Structures are given as structure tokens and as C-alpha cells.
Amino acid sequence: MTAHTSADHTPAFSPVLTVPPALRRWDVFCRVIDNHGDLGVCWRLARDLAGRGAQVRLWVDDASALAWMAPDGAPGVQVLPWRDPLADEAPADVVIEAFGCDPPATYVTRMVAAAETGPAPLWINLEYLSAEPHVEGLHGLASPQWSGPGRGLTKWFFFPGFTPATGGLLREPGLLARRHAHHPATTLTRLGIHLGADDHPDHALMLLFGYTQPLLPAWLDLLADTPHGRGDRRVRTTLLVTPGFSAQQVRAWLHQRGATGPGPVVGALRLHFLPHVTQVEFDRLLWASDLNLVRGEDSLVRALWAGRPLLWQLYPQEDGVHADKLAAFLDVALDHTPPALAAPLRAMARLWNGGGDPADLPRVWSALWPALQVPWRTDAAARQQRWAGQPDLVSSLLTWVARQRTDGLG
């Protein structure tokens, strides 16, 4: 579909922080591709919108993960199965299709009918997060629908991102205040995570949430076999392992090492296998950890707001496109990082995403370990503060839709 530029990206007025009365009703459409990452983003979006006064319907083809992700739901958010709308269901004021998922044709037809008797529903395609430079040029572009069920309507592209010329990052009001008031010991105790009083002084708590990771066994070996002084067998790392790919790989590694038990210790490495936790609890674990190894979009953004060191595993793509996305992210994330720290961080990130020579892992990791508690953490906290100075995604979205209505666009 041909895309056309709307007005410039500069807001015509101050950022909108609450939902305008004329745009109270929002529909968010989401398809769960795999791993529930898309649903995680959509749920946080819906909850944030509702917290600012919107009435949100979240249409999703598989909501099963919400049973553990958000078991208590959220006021103002109604979760509906992906289906053709019922006869008495009207389109919302704002319609968001997450990641190009294409709402049901019958729903789009009703959007066209609504536009014949009043303002057309604002139709937004919320794209995946990317730091690639072209995103700034595509953010806010219009795509007139010349054919199909939406003929006559306009779909608008909205890109999350890391610069003021994009839609920003999801960050609900009060998030950073809650993060700064958090007491890690409370979260760890509640989840039955026990650290040893006689752990090594350099002990680090790490959270592992990833896709299948070819480098993981070798990295676990490094954590377990870290050299100590003579007779020193103190635990130096506690690794919190999330369910799914990560847990499967770590258990296979344990079997290979001949270790068993509910909370095994292998050399200098202690392991703790986590159950599925809510999004709120996951955030707290990110806040409590010294290093967060995360995957996909939702956990990356939450790890960034944690202000702690992180390693990001992108969704691997056969054509290698994820390598370009990683490089673009590193360019913006390490823009203010001292070169002595940025070099091993880039090298480790590439290794963690299938690039570089795996034989370099011991050298690269040994360069990063001493930086974990001070330089790396300081750099992560500074990055959090820089990006917190930009409008968050929902504030940018509300500002944008209010401007579209003011300008008479739809």
C-alpha cells in the first residue's frame, strides 16, 4: 500500500497525557505469533490506555497467557476473542492493529460505514520497535486504502522508537517511581529465592529469559568454572531461569554436567528455576537483578526501564535481518558509553545474537565481568534517565490522535 507523509512530526501542542473525551473508545487487535511477546506488548498498551481514561477492547486470537501474565485483569480493559464482531458491536473511535495483524474484514467494513455518518475511526498500525534510521521517516505516514474492505479509509503507521522523531517507548505513569522505591529482598523472598550469606563478595544475580541460545552452554560453563583462589568454592553467580526455552536448555546443560536437585549449585553457579510470573512480578525481578538477559521487544523495554545492565537476544531470522536491527540498537544505546566499555558490550551482544566467533566468548566475558557492578551499571542507569526524558509511547499516541482529530484527518 502506498504511504504518504502527513504533516511534520512536531506536535502542534503540548503532549496529551490523558485520553480526549471524543476519543474514549479504543479497540486493539492482536495475534499471538509465538512466545506471547506480541500479547505482552498489547496488554501493557491496553492497560496504560485504560489507566488514562480509555475504554479498551483487546481482541486477541489466543489470550491463554494472560492467565499468568495478568491474572487480575485491569479496570477499563475488556479481553475479547478474535472473531467477527457481533451485530450490535460498533467500531471504536481509535482502532489499533498491532504489528500489521489485519482486523477482521467485517469489522473494517463497519469502520467504513461509520465514516459515512461521522468521523472515521482513526486506524493505526502499531509497528515493531526498531532503532533503524528509516523508522523516523516512516513514523506517522498515511496509507490510503484504495481497495479491499477498508476502501476509502486511511491507515496510519506508528513506530515505537528511541528518538523524539518516533513514537517512543511504552512507559506507564509512575513506573520509574515504583522502580526506585522497590526493595529487591522483598521480591526475592516472596518467590523463594535465597542468596547465601557466604557468597562471593562479587556475587551477581542474573535473570535469563531467552530464545534457544547456541552460546548458552559455553556461557554457563564460564559462570560455573570461574577461577577462584585456592580452596575458594563460594557461589559467584545466581541465575534465575524463566520457563520455556531457557529452562529447557539449562536443564539439558545440568544433565550434561551431572548435576541434579531443585536448586543445584555447579561450581560457582547457583541456579533457581522460576515459575511463570505476572508482568508486575517480572518487572520486579528485572529491578532486582544485576544483569538481565532478555529477548524480544517487551522484555527489552522493561529491562531498559530497570536501569540495570542487560544483554538483548533478538528474535533470530533466517535472512540475518536481526543483525542489522541489533547494530542499529547498539548505535543508539551505546552513543554515550565510554569506548572501553562499549567495545566489549558490542562484542558480547553480537556473540549473543549469533555473530562473531564463539571462541571469543571467554575473552569478551572476562572483560565485562569486572564492569558489571560499577561502570556497566552506571552506564545503564544513565541510559534509562536519558530515554525517560522523552515522551512515552502512549503519551505520544494520545498527542498524535488528538492532533489528527483537530486537523480533521482520519
Active site amino acids: 38, 297
**Which amino acid makes up residue 227?**
P
The residues facing 154 across adjacent strands are 144
DSSP letter at 295?
A: E
The contacts of residue 239 (CB under 8 Å, 6+ apart) are: 206, 207, 208, 220, 223, 250, 269, 270, 271, 272
CB atoms near residue 117 (< 10 Å): 6
Pairing between strand 122-126 and 154-158? parallel
Is residue 250 a contact partner of residue 241, using CB atoms and an 8 Å limit?
yes
Q: Which of 20, 28, 19 is nearest to 91 (CA)?
A: 28
Is residue 122 a contact partner of residue 54, using CB atoms and an 8 Å limit?
no
Report how far apart, in Å, the C-alpha atoms of 52 and of each of 55, 161, 281 are. 9, 21, 22
In angstroms, the CA 126 to CA 204 distance is: 37
State the cell numbers at 291.
544483569
Q: Which of 392, 376, 184 is nearest to 288 (CA)?
A: 184
Pairing between strand 154-158 and 269-273? unpaired
27, containing H or E segment? strand 25-30
* Rg (the chain; Cα; Å): 23
Provide the H-helix boundaries in 182-295: 184-190, 216-224, 245-257, 279-288
Is residue 213 a contact partner of residue 181, using CB atoms and an 8 Å limit?
no
Report how far apart, in Å, the C-alpha atoms of 142 and of each of 4, 107, 156 are. 5, 20, 5
Is residue 106 a contact partner of residue 77, using CB atoms and an 8 Å limit?
no
Phi, then psi, of 345 in degrees rounded to 5: -65, -45
Q: Which residue has the cell 505513569?
A: 173
